[in-house]
Structure 1
Amino acid sequence: MNYSKYGLLLWLGFLSSVSILACHAQDKAADEPNSQAAKATLSQPYKIRKMGEFNEPWAIAVLPDQHLLITEKAGKLFVFNPKTQQKIAVEGVPQVAYGGQGGLGDVVLHPDFKQNHIIYFSYAEQGKGGYGAVVVRAVLDEQLPNQPRLIDLQPIWRQVPKVSGQGHYAHRLAFDSAGKLWISSGERQKFQPAQDMQSNLGKILRLNEDGSPAAGNPFMAQGPIAAQIWSLGHRNPLGMAFDAQGQLWVAEMGPRGGDEFNRIRKSANYGYPIVSNGDHYSGRDIPDHTTRPEFQAPEISWTPVISPSSLIFYRGSEFPKWTNKALIGGLSSQAIIVVDTQTVPVQEVQRLAMKQRIRGLVETQDGSIWGIEDGKNAALFQLTAP
């Protein structure tokens, strides 16, 4: 690995970022070795407005009235009113195993939320064997607007097995157009479970709304755990979203180098920990995807890493150059990475220098984009056209 070259690239990136106005998106070259990211081709302008502050926010969802649901990792769920900037705590959230990367995680609405008021959320729990993620469905009761609460809580899915440590839960949630629930499950920093069909760690899972395996899953004949699995060989898939054609994409953290953007295919094995375009943190080499063509290679691999935290596909017209493109929240990169998935090859086309770690993104009805920073005293912000 050419460390001097990487150092030069990082220094050039720093010099460029200090000259960027915060209200405008800028192009960023991404021609590093072992990366398929292409030269930036877009310059979509934007402006940023801080709208609130949260303590370690983790996920954000939009209610039909355009109020926001925001989770905090320590175990709080809030309803936020964008017009008044008032936030109200939701009662009835279960106790979470807070620590490391664990705590309250993702939140999504049931496809028929307007009728049934059901939400789904994920969190880390402690139990026999250690820790693991759980997904719960509940009714969001807002009959008293100033006292929202969760009722009728039902755990529908758990990571198997529970293991020691509090990293790589992933536990992102998404519904597809057919009403199937998809869950990203990290390998919990244990490596081999990503290839073990009797564990749902390191997998992308496709379930019915009640948590049962969905018909048509590729490994139904291999037992009840394997029946949940759609794809395997994943490390820490923290971004998950469907594009306009209904294709699922996942952004996941690599080890030391090799962050991935994957087009998710039925029964595909993405190779971790057997292959990766990064290496172990110890410095031990992991063979690249090119050495094992039987494993599905990422559409883009980033070295230096972007540390993806979240993923949306932009549908609106407020930012016309981003329409139908992927927006990836970046942690260590302190950026929002814009990717065109319709080009061959798939390529990064713009990078927004946010100067803060970005934890989550969501699009609202008016076409604006709301995001949350990572960490304590983190901003809730809105991106709009200038």
Structure 2
Amino acid sequence: MRRFAVLAFALLPTGALALETEQGAVSVSAIVSGLDQPWGVAETPDGALLITQRGGQLILVQDGQARQVRGTPRVAAQGQGGLLDITLARDFAESRTLFLTYSKPQGGGSGTALAAAELSADGTRLENLRDLFESAPGGTTGRHFGSRVVEASDGTLFVTIGDRGDRPSAQDRSNHNGAIVRVNRDGSVPADNPFLGQDGIQPHIWSYGHRNPQGAGLDGRGTLWTAEHGARGGDEVNRVRKGANFGWPVISYGVHYSGATIGQGQSQEGMEQPAFYWDPSMAPSGLMIYQGGMFPEWQGDMFVGSLKFSYISRLAIDGITARELEQIEGDETLRVRDIVEAPDGSILFISVGNGAVYRMTR
């Protein structure tokens, strides 16, 4: 029998603190603290927060109370694995459907999986939990699960998957490692996926040659962008293109942790260049492209959290490239794991370092 512990959190409707940006000060308020390795956050239309914890718990925060939601999948909480991202379906208000990514136990290892479920009307449990996709094969390490899930404008689902610490596998399309996969809402393969029907290639693959994309989001035109970890240097922002090869581990703007050159340098014909890269590495996790009305001066800008240097990077998108405009930082931005736009145009972000979720407002 699985046991569900009574968890203690601090709900913090305290006075807002000022965080300086190039557009002036914004207000940042802690909503909940005391979280244990929070990974993903989403806000429902009625103002409840759903927060994943890597250990396997899904937390609902509403009306001044926090509780654990029952019925989550069994996870392999090893290394970087566990219960990872959460995204609400566009029709959540009617369907109550949400999507979760997690590291699923697989024989002697684990693989990135995508699940769907419906949140019960009272918010206490998940119903009709089912897997839509799992990587095949996964891996035996506890590294590089990727694991963001994004619902595209056509209703298909993008899931990012890391190379699992097996670098060459990111160029091997017979597995899902180092790929962004695309599936329909029922888990089937879309008819317009680029490699569907090609022998020896996993039909779910949309793009490949990724190292460990832990940030993903759509721009106003519905284009998918990712933020992914490099090795030593070379953390990338990529504008994802159907069927494209993003080069890992053949090309990179970083080097191995030993200092050795990666692959064949920084470019090769047939492999995509990053839209932007950081050197030194800032360890990106969580990506959002702002579309709301609360901060009109930020519309169309990209926000990426830094796990290493503890700031939020704001970038401008210039066609197929991006450039960093500023680094927003304060005591609240300690190891930013996720960043999302809330329904009212405010910005939610997770600080792993503080074990907290914050809301940024005007």
Query: Of the candidates 224, 229, 238, which is equivalent to residue 248 of structure 1?
Result: 224
| Residue 23 (1) aligns with residue 8 (2) | no
Tell me the residue number matched to 2:71. 92
Equivalent pair of 1:312/1:328 in contact (CA under 8 Å): yes
| 1:345 Cα offset (Å) | 4.7
* Bigger mean CA deviation after superposition, 285-294 or 173-182: 285-294
Q: CA 1:288/1:311 → structure 2, altered by over 3 Å: closer, same or farther? A: farther
1:44·1:321 contact (CA, 8 Å) conserved in 2? no
Is 1:265 matched up with 2:241?
Answer: yes
Q: Is the 8 A contact 1:44 1:322 kept in 2?
A: no
1:366 and 2:344 correspond: yes
Distance 1:251 1:344, change over 3 A: closer
Q: Secondary structure at the match of 1:193?
A: helix
Distance 2:187 2:342 in 1: 28
When the two structures are superposed, what TM-score results if normalisation uses the length of structure 1?
0.85
Query: Are the equivalent residues in 1 in contact too, given 2:195–2:201 (CA < 8 A)?
Result: no
Q: Distance in 1 between matches of 2:19 and 2:48?
A: 26
- 1:295 equivalent to 2:262? Answer no
Which AA in structure 1 matches 2:348? Answer: W
After the TM superposition, list the runs of 4 or more consecutive aligned residues in structure 1 that deviate by more than 6 angstroms.
none
Aligned residue type for 1:186: G
Select 1:51's aligned residue among 14, 18, 31.
31
- Please say if 1:140 is aligned against 2:119: yes
Per the alignment, in what secondary structure is the counterpart of residue 163 of structure 2?
Answer: coil
Q: CA deviation at 1:289?
A: 5.7
Does structure 1 conserve the Cα–Cα contact (< 8 Å) formed by 2:235 and 2:284? yes
Distance 1:354 1:213 in 2: 43
Match of residue 49 from structure 2? 68
Aligned length: 343
Alpha-carbon distance in 2 for matches of 1:200, 1:207: 13
Say whether 1:115 aligns with 2:110. no
| Deviation by residue 1:238-292 (Cα, 9 ceiling, x = unmatched) | 0010000111100000011100000001111000011111011122211576441
Aligned to 2:192: 216
Shift of 1:234: 0.2
Q: Which has the higher contact order (CA 8 A, sep 6+)?
A: 1
Q: Aligned partners of 1:152 and 1:224: how far apart in 2?
A: 33
Q: Residue 163 of structure 1 aligns with which residue?
A: 139
**Contact map agreement 1:184 1:238 (CA 8 A) in 2:** yes
1:347 aligns with 2:327: no
CA deviation profile, 1:82-109 (whole Å, cap 9, x unmatched):
xx43212101112211121011011112
Residues 1:225 and 1:172: Cα distance change in structure 2 (over 3 Å): farther
Tell me which residue corresponds to 1:18: none
Q: What CA distance in whole angstroms lies between the structure 2 residues aligned with 1:344 and 1:195?
A: 23
TM-score, with structure 2 as normaliser: 0.90
Q: Does 1:378 align with 2:358?
A: no
**Following the alignment from structure 1 to structure 2, what is the Cα–Cα distance between the partners of residues 289 and 299?**
17
Q: For the aligned residues, what is the CA RMSD?
A: 1.8
Matches of 1:186 and 1:107, distance apart in 2 = 17
Q: Which amino acid aligns with 1:191?
A: R
**Range 191-200 or range 90-99, more displaced:** 90-99
Task: Find the aligned partners of 2:84 and 2:200 in 1 and give their Cα distance.
Answer: 25
1:93 partner amino acid: T
**Secondary structure of the structure 2 residue equivalent to 1:304:** coil
Identical aligned pairs, as a percentage? Answer: 36
Structure 1: 5+ residue stretches without partners: 1-21, 27-41
3-state DSSP class of the match of 1:160? coil
1:10-34 C-alpha deviation (Å, 9 max, x unpaired) = xxxxxxxxxxxx72334xxxxxxxx
User: Match for residue 126 of structure 1?
Assistant: 105
User: Is this contact kept in 1: 2:146–2:214, CA < 8 A?
Assistant: yes
Residues 261 and 299 in structure 1, CA contact (< 8 A), matched pair in contact too: yes
Q: What secondary structure does 2:118 align onto?
A: strand
Please tell me the residue identity of whatever aligns with 2:76: A
Residue equivalent to 1:172: 148
8 Å contact kept, 2:252–2:267: no
Report the secondary structure of 2:20's partner residue. coil
Q: What SS class does the counterpart of residue 114 from structure 1 fall into? A: helix
